[in-house]
Amino acid sequence: MQKANFVLYMISFALGWIGAWIIAKWGMKLSLLDEPNSRSSHIAVTPKGGGIGVLAAFLVSSIILSIPKSFWIPGTFLSLFSLWGDHSEIKPAVRLFIQFTAGTILLIGILSEMQTGITSYALMPLFLIFVVGTSNFYNFMDGINGIAGITGIVGFGLTAFYALNHINNLHLSILATCMSISCLGFLPYNIPKARVFMGDVGSILIGFVFSGMVVYLSNDVLDFICLSSFLSLFYADELTTIITRLKSGENLITAHRHHIYQLLANECKIPHWKISVGYGFFQLVIGLSIIWAKNMGFIMMISVLTFFICSFMIFSIILRKKIRLVA
């Protein structure tokens, strides 16, 4: 069994690497291009869609591990649809319709598999917003070299550990490990210099699969909060940015570069790889701290999570004020 898992991990790494290599080599000819503009954090035209290797790893691993079709089919379809979005512009309304449809299929499958009661189905609208929101948050946070790949490695790595040691779900633990390793395979093409971007095909998929695993593995509120915290830096950055933009009267559907990671890269001129490694490191610290705190009870876990969130918010306020003063 362990040998079979090792082979699957190596396949996942290879697929992540091959997918990035294919797009780096032929992305230009396939018109999978990310052309920089005033809102970009890069200056050169770069192929995008390198996350197809992560999709391949997810698909192969799910089939081999006999993951329920209601989990991997909507994820695969959404990722392929997002690949088309990497090639051509798709209206936001159409994107959201497809995302909500895929999320609904995913959640119906999960809740049926878990044989939950009526309460879980009553919460399905909230779960659906969580899944679609996480998918888009991950996509929005994929704006500098390495940040999506490194956070994917950490987030799925923590999920794999938790699934095995706290939920005793071996198959989802292995799948999460495969996702983490496929992100590792993609990473050499994206950091320190980006020869290829992950694209919507990868970032939307990662957010979708991660949030699906959170719902699937959560036996109670404690599990849900703990698992969600494995992506807490992305949530905190996105939510604080949304609040800031709303206060400024900005249109939320327009492109921008007001995320904290973008301010650090563009206004503070910090190299992308340093920011991405920093996000990954602090996400690992937060995740391990929350797992430790959960073992000590609800109050301790919430206290530790609140501390980290408040710390990020304070850092966000200080950084934004400093940048305004400099400007």
pLDDT tens profile 179-209: 999 999 999 999 998 899 999 999 999 999 9
Q: Cα–Cα distance between 68 and 83 in angstroms, integer?
A: 23
Confidence of residue 40 (pLDDT cuts 50, 70, 90): low
Give Cβ neighbours of residue 209 (< 8 Å, ≥ 6 apart).
58, 75, 179
Q: How far is CA 198 from CA 25, 119, 148, 287, in A?
A: 14, 37, 8, 24
Q: Which DSSP letter does residue 166 get?
A: I
- Are 300 and 293 in contact, with CB atoms under 8 Å apart? yes
Q: Which DSSP letter does residue 1 get?
A: -
Q: Which DSSP letter does residue 123 get?
A: T
Strands of the chain, DSSP E = 33-34, 46-47
Confidence of residue 325 (pLDDT cuts 50, 70, 90): low
pLDDT in tens, 207-224: 999 999 999 999 999 999
Averaged pLDDT for residues 69-89? 95
Token duo for residue 71: 């989990």
How many independent structural domains does the chain possess? 1
Residue-averaged pLDDT of the chain: 93
Structural domain that includes position 133: 2-326
The amino acid sitting at 203 is S
Confidence of residue 301 (pLDDT cuts 50, 70, 90): very high
Q: Comparing C-alpha atoms, which of 14, 22, 38, 56 is closest to residue 202? A: 56
Q: At what angle do helices 2-26 and 52-64 cross, to 10 degrees?
A: 150
- Length of the chain as a residue count: 327
- Are 135 and 183 in contact, with CB atoms under 8 Å apart? no
